Amino acid sequence: MCELLAMSANVPTDIVFSFTGLAERGGVTGPHVDGWGITFYEGKGSRTFKDAHPSSQSLIARLIKSYPIKSEVVISHIRQANRGEVALENTHPFSRELWGRYWTYAHNGQLSDYLPHFPVSRFRPVGDTDSELAFCWLLEQLVKRFGDTPPEDMQSVFRYAAALAEQIRTLGVFNMILTDGEHLLCFCSNNLCHITRRAPFGKAKLIDTDVVIDFDKETTPKDVVTVIATRPLTDNEAWQLMTPGQWKLFARGELLCEGQPG
C-alpha cells in the first residue's frame, strides 16, 4: 500500500501542512519507505520532486516542508513497493504531455494479471510498475476516443477516464488521482477521502505529527481548498470517505461532478 495526497484550490496555496503529515508516514508513522514524489502545478507549468529514499529522511522532503511553493493543483505519493523495484523510474507521480498539457497521475493499490489488458504504443512506461503501465494505457484510450486535437469539453474527457478507471479496478485495487493541471479526478477503489476547506476557517491538527495550523490566519475569506488523501490527515475535521467505485472531479477547489459505479 502507498499513500496518496492531492490538492485543488482556487488560489495558489501551499501544501506544507498536509505534506508534513504525509511525509511522516514515509518511515516514521507508516511503513512507506520506498520513495516519494510530489508534483506542483503553477499555471500550465509543473515541477515534480522525487526521491527513492524515505520521505521522513529525505533532504528534498525537508526542503518541501520548509519552502511554501504556491500551487493550484498538487499530487503527491509515498511508496511502499509491491510491483517494480525501488528506483527513481518507479517513483510516482508519473507525468506525460497530452494535448499541450502536462498530465500527472499517482496510484495506490496493486493489480494482478494486468499485462494483457494494457497494450500500449504511443505512451510507453519507462519503469516497470503496474501503475505507470495503467497510466500509459489510460492516456492512449483518451487519444483513441478524442483524437490528437485538444477537446473542448474536458469534463467528458474525465468522465471517460473515470469509466476507464472502473475497468482497471476489475484487475485489483486502484485508487487513483489524475490531473491535467486544471481538473483533478479522484477515483476510489477502497481508500480515499477528502475535505473542502472554506470560510469560516478553523484550526486543524495533524494525526501523524504534533502540528496544529490555524487556517484562518493563512487564508482569505474567498479561498476554497480541497485536499484528498488515502486516510484523513487531521483528527479534528470531518473528512468525507469515498466508497468503492466512486469518483469525483474537482477544479479550483470545487466539486464539478461525481459518479458511482453501474
Query: Any idea which residues carry the catalytic annotation?
Result: 2
Provide the sign of the torsion angle of the four alpha carbons 123, 138, 240, 110, taken in this order.
Answer: negative
Rounded Cα distance, 153 and 180, in Å: 13
The nearest distance, CB 177 to a second copy, in angstroms, is 19
Nearer to a second copy, 122 or 203 (CB): 122
Task: Report DSSP state, residue 150.
Answer: P
Specify the stretch interacting with a second copy by CB under 8 A; choose among 87-95, 158-166, 196-204, 209-217: 87-95
Asked if residue 11 binds a second copy (CB under 8 A), the reply is no
Specify the stretch interacting with a second copy by CB under 8 A; choose among 36-44, 75-83, 197-205, 245-253: 36-44
Q: Which of 1, 16, 28, 87 binds a second copy (CB under 8 A)?
A: 87
Nearer to a second copy, 86 or 207 (CB): 86
Closest CA to 111 of 135, 95, 88: 135
Rounded Cα distance, 155 and 258, in Å: 10
Three-state SS sequence of 187-209: ECCCCCEEEEECCCCCEEEECCC
50 DSSP β-pair partners: 37
The nearest distance, CB 38 to a second copy, in angstroms, is 11
Region of 167 (left: φ > 0; alpha: ψ -120 to 50; beta: rest) is alpha
Closest CA to 107 of 88, 134, 87: 134
- Residues 93-132 within binding reach of a second copy (CB under 8 A): 96-97, 99-102, 121-127
Nearer to a second copy, 20 or 91 (CB): 91
Nearer to a second copy, 46 or 230 (CB): 46
Q: Which of 113, 148, 152, 210 binds a second copy (CB under 8 A)?
A: 148
Asked if residue 42 binds a second copy (CB under 8 A), the reply is yes
The nearest distance, CB 59 to a second copy, in angstroms, is 5
Specify the stretch interacting with a second copy by CB under 8 A; choose among 48-56, 171-179, 197-205, 214-222: 48-56
Closest CA to 246 of 183, 192, 203: 192
Nearer to a second copy, 59 or 115 (CB): 59
Closest CA to 227 of 75, 117, 99, 56: 75
- Cβ contact 44:101 at 8 Å: yes
The nearest distance, CB 47 to a second copy, in angstroms, is 5
* Neighbour-count burial of 115, counting CB atoms closer than 10 A to its CB (0-12 exposed, 13-18 middle, 19+ buried): exposed
Nearer to a second copy, 38 or 192 (CB): 38
Asked if residue 70 binds a second copy (CB under 8 A), the reply is no
Asked if residue 84 binds a second copy (CB under 8 A), the reply is no
Can you give the binding site for a second copy, defined by CB under 8 A?
A: 42-50, 52, 59-60, 63, 67, 87-91, 96-97, 99-102, 121-127, 148-149
